[in-house]
A and B are shown apart, each in its own frame.
Chain A
Amino acid sequence: MKQMQCPLNGWRNIQEFAHGGEVVDEPDPNRCTDAEWAEYIFMEDNKAGLVKEWWCHVATAYWFIAERDTVKDEIVRTYDPSELFKERRDYTRPEALEGKS
């Protein structure tokens, strides 16, 4: 069976993990177009080569990032998301909606 190294729990069988899609930058939800938001939510690049993806170790509900080579079918590196996401992201209410419920 394939194995993956969980940054929290070490080497585990691949069946303990769930795939969570590509790591992509989130557009500003208050300023982007509907098409840009739809692209962010629904579309995958599905690139042949090195990709950066979200994975979850299901037994601990621990989300982390894996870099995979989809051509060689190899997992290159796994790491905690704090390496990429160093600050909390807060969301503000769009000005256009102020005063509306």
Chain B
Amino acid sequence: MALKPTQCARRSFLYRELENSGARFEELNGSAIAINYGDAEGETAQARKLGICDLSSLQRTGFKGWNMADWLRLQGVVLAEESNITSPQTDGTRVARLAPGEALVLGDYQGGGALIEKLDSTWSMESADGCYQVPRAETNFWLALTGTEAPALFTKICAVDLRDQATSVHSVVQTNVARLNAIIIRGGTAEVPVFDLLSDIASAVYLWRALLDAMGEFGGKPIGLKALQDLT
């Protein structure tokens, strides 16, 4: 019998929208994640063109404060000197420096996040003076926009140029997307970009629908996590 999101202890903020789009769910880290939408092979090709994938069930966290950089480096994290640059870690986790005193930590697309678990369990108010936890998993939803048409989609809803000539892999852009404050991280490869997008959970359904509407003219569709894993 097919897994329903309501059978899992945790679910994405968007699970009703995903169900409406025909998602098939699998359990990952105790959460229901849309693994595909019934066309596993077609979705891999769709991901190369233009796809939207909900990653809200994957692991993430954040830290801020004047002592953020020193504390993270003490834990063995590789952190960029400049703001708005992402540093890949050896275990597949990525750490995006949002400001001199703020960082965002994203787990990999397989559901892993050993570094995130270590950071969250090591951190305490007493031991990390001047470095404070930001509960990104509870406050931000996480989408991936994939494919060669994704930069064209962003020209409709975002004022910052995200085409290849303006944005390199691992760069971070913090701006307005469809009138919402959002963090965009350029990932993927030089040939096929993947843009991670994080924004406030209160507007998750609004942005999901706005993006589906905006990507219609480019043939964009929802894709499952499997297609994203195959792509990267």
Residues of A within 8 A of B (CB): 1, 8-9, 12-13, 15-16, 57-60, 62
Q: What size tier do the contact residues of chain B reach?
A: 10 to 19
B182 at the interface (CB under 8 A from A): yes
Top-10 shortest CB links A-B: A59-B181, A13-B159, A60-B174, A59-B174, A59-B175, A16-B176, A9-B174, A59-B176, A8-B83, A8-B99
Pair B99/A60 contact, Cβ less than 8 Å: yes
Number of A-B contacts (CB under 8 A): 29
List A contacts of B159 (CB < 8 A).
Answer: 1, 12-13, 16
Q: Return the chain B residue nearest A13 by Cβ.
A: B159
* Interchain CA distance A1-B84 in the complex, whole Å: 24
B173 neighbours in A (Cβ, 8 Å): 9
Alpha-carbon gap, A16 to B174, bound state (A): 10
Given contacts A9-B175, A59-B174, 18 further A-B pairs with CB under 8 A are A8-B84, A9-B84, A9-B173, A12-B159, A12-B160, A12-B175, A13-B159, A15-B176, A16-B159, A16-B175, A16-B176, A57-B174, A58-B181, A59-B175, A59-B181, A59-B182, A60-B99, A62-B99
Does residue B98 face the partner (Cβ distance < 8 Å to A)?
Answer: yes
How long is the Cα–Cα vector from A8 to B160 in the complex, in angstroms? 14
Chain A residues lying within 8 Å of B175, measured Cβ to Cβ, are 9, 12, 16, 59
B84 neighbours in A (Cβ, 8 Å): 8-9
Binding site for A on B (CB under 8 A): 83-84, 98-99, 159-160, 173-176, 181-182
In this complex, what residue of A is CB-closest to B182?
A59
Instruction: Report Cα–Cα, A96/B84, bound state, in Å.
Output: 48
**B residues less than 8 Å from A62 (CB atoms):** 99
Q: Do A60 and B176 contact each other (CB < 8 Å), given the known contacts A9-B84, A13-B159?
A: no
Report A-chain residues with C-beta under 8 Å of the C-beta of B83: 8
In the assembly, what is the distance between CA of A1 and CA of B174, in Å? Answer: 19
A12 to B160, CA, bound (A): 7
A13 surroundings in chain B (CB, below 8 A): 159, 176
Cα separation A60 to B183 with both chains bound (whole Å)? 9
Per the bound structure, the CA–CA distance linking A15 and B160 in Å amounts to 13
Residues in A whose Cβ lies below 8 Å from that of B181: 58-60
Set of chain B residues within 8 Å of A8, measured between Cβ atoms: 83-84, 99
